[in-house]
Amino acid sequence: MKIGLALGGGGARGLAHIGVIKVLEEEGIKIDYIAGTSMGAIIGAMYAQNPNAEGVIKRLKLFLQSTDYDALGVKYFFPKREKTLSFIQFLYKGLRERFSIELSPRRKGLIKRERLDYALSFLIDEGDIENTIIPFAAVSTDLSRGKTVAFRKGDIRKAVRISASIPGIIPPELESGMALVDGGVTEPVPVYAVKEMGADFVIAVDVSVTQLDNFVNPSIIDIIARTETVRGIYLSGELVKHADFVFHPDLKDAHWSEFLRYEEFIQEGIDEGKGKVNELKKQLRKYRSFWRRLWRNRC
């Protein structure tokens, strides 16, 4: 029986993935396949290349404490609620000051993809997906056809960058008639993708928002943001119904850009993992018993 791990998207909330993985590793639960969407693809690729949770955590912390992280500019997207500035005013002011961009209809993204490429060169080793220690797939969405595209061959950094290209923030990758963006558009938790790899038992890690604040006197941008959040929660919930076991760290309404809360998010993943790992072991024993009986009957 092969175990697959489906790591969902969620920006900074996805740092909880490595906390869950750390618990699985400590409990001796071997992962045979990994599929990741967006931040799940970043964590998944790091672990698939070097299956050592502590090593991945150390590498993440080094990056988030470095000037390379500051240069990425993600922190300027956090919606600070200043009394004198609305969110859209703050966002526009921050972007103008930090990126000196021209907000025109012809622009395809707010951050150049080279910034994300540079960050991934810090986190992920150079190489091809098919050469990872644990078989890995990076999930993206083709806006041209409205379909999910899972990368299982080729440059791993490029595949992960495409999987993490948030629409409107990072420009889409245009190739072979496709317009490829963040996999969260169609498969925020890549349950189907890891099943297609050959997984018999799927463990999903859903890091979607677990708490919504009161929706009082919203602005246009608030309505758009809340709509996208609710869509993501609903779609993730439907996808994980097709997994065999689900971890869902309680990250409340943490914003996708709050990477500097990494200690808290990783610990939340550890807590979720420890709280449910015994239940997971029971499910695995049942499935293994079923597969043994099936194999004996075939023989």
At residue 228 the predicted structure's pLDDT band, cuts being 50, 70 and 90, is confident
Classify 39 as helix, strand or coil. Answer: helix
As a dihedral over the C-alpha atoms of residue 193, residue 198, residue 202, residue 203, rounded to 10 degrees, the angle is -80
| pLDDT of 84 | 44
Least confident of 73-77, 97-101, 188-192, 194-198: 97-101
Mean pLDDT for 84-94 is 48
Work out the pLDDT band at 100, boundaries 50, 70, 90.
very low
Among residues 126, 122, 124, which one has the least CA distance to residue 66? 122
Choice among 19-33, 54-68, 149-163 with the minimum mean pLDDT: 54-68
- Give the pLDDT confidence of 113-138 residue by residue, as tens digits: 777 888 899 999 999 999 999 999 99
Check residues 122 and 88 and name the one with the higher pLDDT. 122
CA distances 271 to 50, 203, 208, 210, 275, Å, are 23, 16, 16, 15, 6
Query: What's the confidence (pLDDT) of residue 106?
Result: 59
pLDDT at res. 36: 97
Which of 24, 26, 34, 25 has the alpha carbon at shortest distance from 2? 34
Higher pLDDT, 254 or 197: 197
What pLDDT is stored for residue 86 in this prediction? 46
Active site residues: 38, 182
pLDDT in tens, 137-185: 999 999 999 999 999 999 999 999 999 998 877 888 998 899 999 999 9
Supply the pLDDT for residue 83.
43
- At 211 the pLDDT is 85
Q: Does 298 have pLDDT greater than 80?
A: no
Note the pLDDT tens digit of each residue in 194-216. 999 999 999 999 999 888 877 77
**What does 64-115 look like in DSSP terms, one character per residue?**
HTSHHHHHH-GGGGS----TTS-HHHHHHHHHHHHH-----TT--BSS-HHH
Would you state the pLDDT for residue 204?
A: 98
Mean pLDDT check: name the lowest of 2-16, 95-109, 281-295.
95-109
Question: What mean pLDDT do residues 219-223 have?
Answer: 77
The span from the CA of 51 to the CA of 45, in Å, is 10
- What pLDDT shows up at residue 89? 47
Across 57-71, 95-109, 232-246, which has the greatest mean pLDDT? Answer: 232-246
- One-letter amino acid at 272 equals E
- For the segment 51-74, the average pLDDT, to the nearest whole number, is 87
Question: Over 50: is that where the pLDDT of 242 sits?
Answer: yes
Q: Which comes out higher in pLDDT, residue 106 or 140?
A: 140
pLDDT-based confidence at residue 109 (cuts at 50, 70, 90): low
